[in-house]
Amino acid sequence: MRPGRRARLTGAHREELWRRYKAGETILGIGRALGQRPTTIHRVLQSTGGIGPVQRRRSARVLSFAEREEISRGISAGHSFRAIARNLQRAVSTVSQEVARHGGRARYRAADADLTAWDSARKLPRQVDSSKLEFPRRSTARGNALAAGFPAHRAA
């Protein structure tokens, strides 16, 4: 690594970092095991306040990889969306929206669809544009006077 450049930790390294940190290993020991400087390890821990990320889990309501595989097999066998949905015990709209969302009948692939769905399911922090926020206006005599440009002590 060149001097002055920040080290990038891969996903596997981050998982190993958190596993070791939760086991009580020191920052110096974690750095040695991962081949990273202790400052890199400290930076990762400091950015989260020492609290590890929550393990992501798939909701029971979304399609599983096995269900997506069944959809893919049904499409390749020439079955209708109704027949596929009946087999999965899901709504027809669920199957048709899934296929439409991921390339249509001709290009639907279960693995690609599952990966795309998993990636898009991550919750990103909401960005609020403060310039579009509206605040309630005051409807008092003082508020009306201020809006008209009069000093507040003369409005009463």
Could you tell me the mean pLDDT of each successive run of 10 residues in the chain, 156 residues long? 66 89 92 91 88 80 93 96 96 96 94 90 69 62 60 54
Which structural domain, as residue segments, surrounds residue 38? Answer: 11-47
Residue 80 forms part of a structural domain: yes
Q: Within 10 Å of residue 2's Cβ, how many Cβ atoms? A: 4
* pLDDT value of residue 84: 96
pLDDT of residue 146: 59
**Structure confidence at residue 97 (pLDDT):** 95
Residues 112, 69 share a domain? yes
Phi-psi region of 91 (alpha: psi -120 to 50; beta: other; left: phi over 0): beta
Q: Whole-angstrom Cα distance, residue 111 to residue 27?
A: 38
In a domain, 133, yes or no: no
**Domain presence at residue 5:** no
Pairwise CA distance, residues 65 & 88, whole Å: 12
Looking at the fold, whether 39 and 73 belong to one and the same domain comes out as no
Provide the pLDDT for residue 143.
59
Instruction: Kindly state whether residues 78 and 40 are assigned to the same domain.
Output: no
Q: Would you say residue 140 lies in a domain?
A: no
**In this structure, is residue 131 part of a structural domain?**
no
User: What pLDDT was estimated at residue 54?
Assistant: 79
71 and 35 co-located in one domain: no
Q: Is residue 21 part of a domain?
A: yes
In the prediction, which pLDDT does 86 show?
A: 96
Number of domains in the chain: 2
pTM flag (> 0.95):
no
